[in-house]
Structure 1
Amino acid sequence: MGRKSIARKRKSKDKKVEQWTQAILPKLKRKDLGNLTMNDLALLMNKSKSTIYEYFTTKEEIFEYITQVRIDRLNAYKHEITSEILQLNYHYETLAAILTDGAKDISAFYLKQLREHYPGAWKIIEDFLFGLLDDFKQMYLNGIKNNLFKAVSIDLLLKLDQYFILQLITDDSFFNQSKETLESTIKDYMFLKFEGLMK
């Protein structure tokens, strides 16, 4: 049984902490997150456990922080979508690049484990994904209205997006069978969708 952390004021997280917590992601692609201890995380981050406890109280807090940092970076897509909608000038490649960068060093297995063992961290991802679905809906509505996209069923498009965004990205068996990465799958999906929609 691991020791409980001492209740004390934690240090503020700076760029250095952001870097060494993000650097752990490639090492977690195939790890069972439920079995990881604070000792394991400290080893994976090449930090002492006492250093980890200077910034974090629990494993949950570590995973929530790692997730929030990545989601904050991903929120760059919001500006991209908004400006493209306003200018009626869609460049799916830029949006695909933002989303694939957000998936860098992350596997479907990792996301599945995160959802199972760290609901607080998964909620951060889920909130982002539901926001993305809302933004896609606006993009489809404006694109069809302004004759940029083919007049296809928006409900169908959103159902496909919902499946891809909320189910496929955690479907480890699909990625094991196809040998695709999360990054390449996002890129291909965006290409197929937007090239198919363009008039």
Structure 2
Amino acid sequence: MGRKSLSKDRKDKNKKVEQWTQAILPKLKQADLGNLTMDDLAVLMNKSKSTIYQYFITKEEIFEYITQVRIDRLYNYKNEITKEIIEPNYKYGKLAGILTEGAKDISAHYLRQLKLHYPTAWKIIEDFLHSLLQDFKQFYLLGIQSDMFKPVSVDLLVKLDEYFIMQLITDDQFFTQSKDTLESTIKDYMYLKFEGLMI
């Protein structure tokens, strides 16, 4: 009963809440998300715990919100694919830009921690990634049919994307060894993929 009445008292989230929740992402790149408390999150957001409780009840809710805001921005990629593919001088740069912007201030370590400790937040990412893979498949088919891409195996292209998207982005050991960022790796991957496909 107490939880239901509390949730009714929460304030609606606005642009300011979006800004200060997104602003903590760089501080969480190497954090153990499972050990963070509401007190820790309040310090990281530079807000009082009472302020945070005006908008959120649990840590899970905070991470779900942070994730949803970022994923909502990433859904812009769909419009870019649709618009760009029909252009005779298609460039993949805008699409790469959207995806690298989505990865900004996020590390593979953070994503792996999110997957381990906040499965409902990770599910938001996973649903988006599955949608992305399906759209990429259609994108490759259209590109090959319009003689913009080389006639290679679409299934192989999608399998490569699936490995990169579903496994590499949470492989913090790879990023520790390579010293690359998630953002730069996405940029390099997109460059290799599309420059190799172009006729």
- TM class by shorter-chain length? over 0.9
What's 1:95 paired with?
95
In the aligned structure 2, how far is the partner of 1:27 from the partner of 1:5?
A: 32
In the aligned structure 2, how far is the partner of 1:53 from the partner of 1:18?
A: 15
In the aligned structure 2, how far is the partner of 1:116 from the partner of 1:130?
A: 19
- Secondary structure of 2:54's counterpart equals helix
The two structures, once aligned, show a CA RMSD in angstroms of 1.4
CA contact (8 A) 1:107 1:182 kept: yes
What's 2:29 paired with?
29
Taking structure 1 as the reference length, what is the TM-score of the superposition? Answer: 0.95
In the aligned structure 2, how far is the partner of 1:90 from the partner of 1:37?
A: 47
- Secondary structure of 2:6's counterpart equals coil
What's 2:76 paired with?
76
Alignment of 1:58-73 (within 5 A): 58-73=58-73
- Which blocks of at least 5 consecutive residues in structure 1 are unaligned? none
Q: CA deviation at 1:89?
A: 4.8
Distance 1:5 1:114, change over 3 A: farther
The C-alpha deviation readout for 1:72-123, integer Å capped at 9, x for no partner, is 1111111101112344553211111110001000000000000000011101
What's 1:141 paired with?
141
CA contact (8 A) 1:5 1:53 kept: no
Distance 1:73 1:55, change over 3 A: same
What's 1:55 paired with?
55
Letter in 2 for 1:60: E
What's 2:128 paired with?
128
What's 1:183 paired with?
183
Is 1:7 aligned with 2:6? yes
In the aligned structure 2, how far is the partner of 1:67 from the partner of 1:84?
A: 27
Letter in 1 for 2:147: N
CA contact (8 A) 1:5 1:57 kept: no
Structure 1 runs, 4 residues or longer, greater than 4 Å off = none
What's 2:39 paired with?
39
In the aligned structure 2, how far is the partner of 1:44 from the partner of 1:153?
A: 47
CA contact (8 A) 1:88 1:143 kept: no
- Which blocks of at least 5 consecutive residues in structure 2 are unaligned? none
Q: Share of identical aligned residues, percent?
A: 74
Letter in 2 for 1:73: R
In the aligned structure 2, how far is the partner of 1:15 from the partner of 1:174?
A: 35
- Secondary structure of 1:7's counterpart equals helix
Taking structure 2 as the reference length, what is the TM-score of the superposition? Answer: 0.95
Letter in 2 for 1:80: E
